[in-house]
Amino acid sequence: MPKARSANAVRLEFAPGSLVQSNLSGAAFTGEWLWVAGDEACGLDRLRLLEPLGREQLRFGEVRDFPLAELLNLPGEADEEADLEGMAVAEGYLWVVGSHGLKRKNARPDRSHADNARRLAKLALDGNRRLLACLPIEPDAQGKPCLVRQAADGRRALRLKGDAQHNLLTRALADDPHFGPYMTIPGKDNGFDIEGLAVCGRRLLLGLRGPVLRGWSGVLEIAVEPRGDALRLVPLDDSGTLVRKHFLQLDGLGVRDLHFSGDDLYILAGPTMVLNGEIRVFKWPAARAQLAANREPVRFESALTESVSLPHGQNTNRAEAICDLPPALANGKARWLVLYDAPGPDRKEGEHVVFGDLLQHD
């Protein structure tokens, strides 16, 4: 369980033209290198560990962009945002997932009532939002980890088969009694919205910010494998199950990120809709073993423990990403990095520097 939070302990330095700037939604480490995603870009940034400048404990900079269009044949346009919300590093790949959800236009104070009514009725789906992909990590000539379309050992960047409207996951859920009805509802309206990713062997866990059903939050379990030039869903068991559903009792909150620490799964949870509400970290003890032993297509898990509440501001400082610090950076302590969407003035320095927190835990 967390023992202490060190606020603004991690300094992230971006550049004026960086793909990712301040709205951070995913994080993962390769040694001393930090990968970050933002929900308004179609790419990822890599930052390097640097010597601290001031009171921060860790500093990352010398940012490099990795546009997804250079790594994958995208379903949408190269500059169309992917709304990346989850990341994980496993077996030489960086896995990423987009929200998969629709979006709704918002009302604006400079528009008329009639115009705002039309805006609020307009739904859209960016073609790259329905993206689930694995990207090979390979060192360059200087030993720096890079994302590549194809690695020297044959590993390739692949995405789940689909187009700008549907992929194999959304098709598998189209008639699902729990989530099918929410596929046409925008994410921020308690519609379908993926915001967490964790890798467990050959299986992927996808955490849902929405929908939350009578207080139960959803985590989808799938398995994928390369076939031809794409990833395909493969059955999880002999009965042909393509998607297992895990309903978690998170006190009405939706999943914002997932992260394995040892055998335990930690769930960063926050409001499903556009609310300034509680943000907490829950622990699912021994989740790896339970997932490996489970054969039920649908299960309910209420034996979760709340480990910590995180601060939030008024429309600012929403915790969106959590991951373990590598041992070499943790000074002998088990610590998480927590990054925030919509950082407030207390988490920014100028236009291109933002700060994250460190959480010490058992």
The number of beta carbons lying within 10 Å of the beta carbon of residue 178 is 14
User: pLDDT band for position 251 (50/70/90)?
Assistant: very high
**What integer is the mean pLDDT of 17-30?**
91
The band of 186, judged by pLDDT with boundaries at 50, 70 and 90, is: very high
- What is the β-pairing status of strands 103-104 and 230-233? unpaired
pLDDT band at 2 (very low <50, low <70, confident <90, very high): low
- The pLDDT of residue 3 is above 70: no
Structural domains counted in the chain: 1
Q: What is the mean pLDDT of residues 30-42?
A: 92
Band of pLDDT at residue 23, cut at 50, 70 and 90: confident
What mean pLDDT is predicted for residues 13-40? 92
Q: What is the mean predicted confidence (pLDDT) over 108-128?
A: 94
Q: Does the structure show a pLDDT above 80 at 133?
A: yes
| Model pLDDT, residue 345 | 92
* pLDDT, average across residues 93-117: 95
Mean per-residue pLDDT of the chain: 93
- Amino acid sitting at position 306: E
- State residue 217's pLDDT score: 97
- pTM over 0.75? The answer is yes
| Per-residue model confidence (pLDDT) at position 303 | 87
Please name the amino acid found at residue 26. G
Is the pLDDT at 193 greater than 90? The verdict is yes
Backbone angles phi, psi at 172, to 5 degrees: -65, -25
Asked whether residue 275 carries a pLDDT value surpassing 80, the answer given is no
Query: How far apart (Å, rounded) are the C-alpha atoms in residues 69 and 58?
Result: 31
Task: Give the pLDDT confidence of 54-104 residue by residue, as tens digits.
Answer: 899 999 999 999 999 999 999 999 889 899 999 999 999 999 999 999 999
Q: What does the alpha-carbon distance between residue 256 and residue 336 come to, in Å, rounded to a whole number?
A: 15
What whole-number percentage of the chain has pLDDT above 90? 80
Q: d(Cα 266, Cα 205) in Å, to the nearest integer?
A: 12
Taking only the tens place, the pLDDT of each residue in 200-211 is: 988 999 999 999
Q: Domain containing 99: what range?
A: 4-360
Closest CA to 195 of 137, 305, 300, 271: 271
Residues facing 58 on adjacent strands: 10
In this prediction, residues 215-228 reach a mean pLDDT of: 96
Average of pLDDT values for 27-54?
94
CATH number for the domain spanning 223: value is 2.115.10
Mean pLDDT value of segment 7-31: 93
3-state secondary structure the chain: CCCEEEEEEEEEECCCCCCCCCCEEEEEEECCEEEEEECCCCEEEEEEEECCCCCCCEEEEEEEEEEHHHCCCCCCCCCCCCCEEEEEEECCEEEEEECCCCEECCCCCCCCHHHHHHHHCCEECCCCCCCEEEEEEEECCCCCEEECCECCCCCECEEECECCCCEHHHHHHCCCCCCHHHCCCCHHHCCCEEEEEEEECCEEEEEEEECCECCEEEEEEEEEEEECCEEEECCCCCCCCCCEEEEEECCCCEEEEEEEECCEEEEEEECCCCCCCCEEEEEECCHHHHHHHCCCCEEEECCCEEEEEECCCCCCCEEEEEEECCHHHCCCCCEEEEEEECCCHHHEECCCEEEEEEEECC
